[in-house]
Structure 1
Amino acid sequence: MPPAKKRTRNYDPAKIRTAVLAQFGNVRAAVAGLTPEQLALPTRLGDWTVRDLVAHVGMSLGAVSRLLALPEPPKQDGTLLDWPRAIAADAPDIAAHARESAESHPDPATHLATVEERFTADLAAHPGTRLLPTSAGALPLADYLVTRTVELVVHTDDLNAAVPGLDIPCDRQALAACTRLLADALAAKAPGGSTEVRVPPYAVVQCVAGPRHTRGTPPNVVETDPLTWIRLATGRLAWAEALHDAKVSASGERADLSAHLPLMA
């Protein structure tokens, strides 16, 4: 039997828009209560401070408005699954822009509120089919908003890790979309059907070259929870550490995903 073709998962545009706004609102509300001392704390992202990280969260939503202000591309030439690889390549420039944004906006809470207001207005003015010139190619607005769930969920986790006692909640729809996109990105990076990766309750994908599983219990299975999967996929957690701490279970000779992770870092 020939291997199945990879296809881009469908996402409900209305639910994604709601999820992005909900998660950004969660972050904005938490940032409003941070003290200058907390904003100066280090993060797990190199030499970024919490203030730099908050500025980047603003940039992640502000990017939608920035791209909408540019001329619309004539046709779509990218897919959602191109985005994780593209964003990893852009990491150095992203870090520099985050620091510049942090310096330009000394009041992070006010800045996030302004970004949110413009974003909301832009969403009301443009359909999901509007093409954006992203680093992953021309993508519909509806697809690009799915990538914003990854940015917001990942950096919510970064903020919670950086500030003792901070517990920003994660919108369920945003967490689901983030988990699914990163799971699908793994299947695209390591195509095959020998290994089943399970991230309940949101995603199951087949990946890794080798004998294809067709029925019954797969011989190679990886299972973990959504946040652990997201940390593995984005380089926040090493595969060996996750195994050692029983954060992930892996059975079978092709269940070692270390050669394929992280997907973006």
Structure 2
Amino acid sequence: MTTSFDSFQKRRLQSSYVSVVISIALVLFMIGMLGLIVLKSTKVANHFKEKVVMTLFLKDDLDKKQIASFKEALAKEPFTKNVRYVSKEEAAKAYKRDLGEDFIKFLGDNPLKNGFDIKLKAAFVTPEEMLRIEKKYQKNKFVADVNYDKLLVTQLTKNIKRISFWLLILSGFFGLVAIILINSSIRLAIYSKRFNIKTMQMVGATKRFIRKPFIWQSIKLGLIGALVALVSLFIVIYYVDDYVPTLALTKDYTALAYVTGGVLLTAFFITWISTFFATQRFLNLQTNDLYY
């Protein structure tokens, strides 16, 4: 009879552990997916920002040495990602290609100017920063005019802020759901051992001594759940990368490392904190309260 009861208790305990691992894995899978979306959205946003071009049109009286010196100075600026010199002959060819006709024959002269096309680093592609750069170079003795698509920069900045805001709200929501679900699963697992906790306490075991094995057990379950979540996540990433290769998910080792580290740390801290407070609650209960 006793053996049968012990076997039943053991199966019940194992079933409880499996449910905890599955709950943790599902929640961490969601967090990992959201983390990857946040990281990739930032990278995509920066990619589009760094496609924005600011053109500095040069005065006509500059010689080759001055142009080369100015290009070198521009390349050293903290906002510069890439700088390219475009002669007025190159610009005329580009216009001719776009218009489909030779406007120079019609005008009799090339009205375009030599210039530099500057691609800025993502952090500097905001209306405020680009306006500051524009004002700086409008005063430069080599520059005749500064041009860039102000409307595009404004709209790009607004859209990125809007998307970032909603991703932040969504991240906070899923983070809260993760804490609640993992905490509930661990509390239920510890609830089944509440009499063991009280028995150990009654024979003189300290609270720290009682908590320690529960915390380590929960951390182990959390890490197993994290590994299950990561394996599932990498399978999904592999298949998504096949269908949408432009995202280069499997080659973005930095994003994958951040997601892996984030999932493992989340599993560790949530299980540790949840177990600490769950065991503390039962340690502080009176023996009669354990039945309710």
The question of a shared fold, defined as TM-score above 0.5 by the shorter chain, is answered with no
- Give TM-score, length-normalised by structure 1: 0.22
Q: Which has the larger Rg?
A: 2
Higher share of residues assigned helix: 2
- Give TM-score, length-normalised by structure 2: 0.21
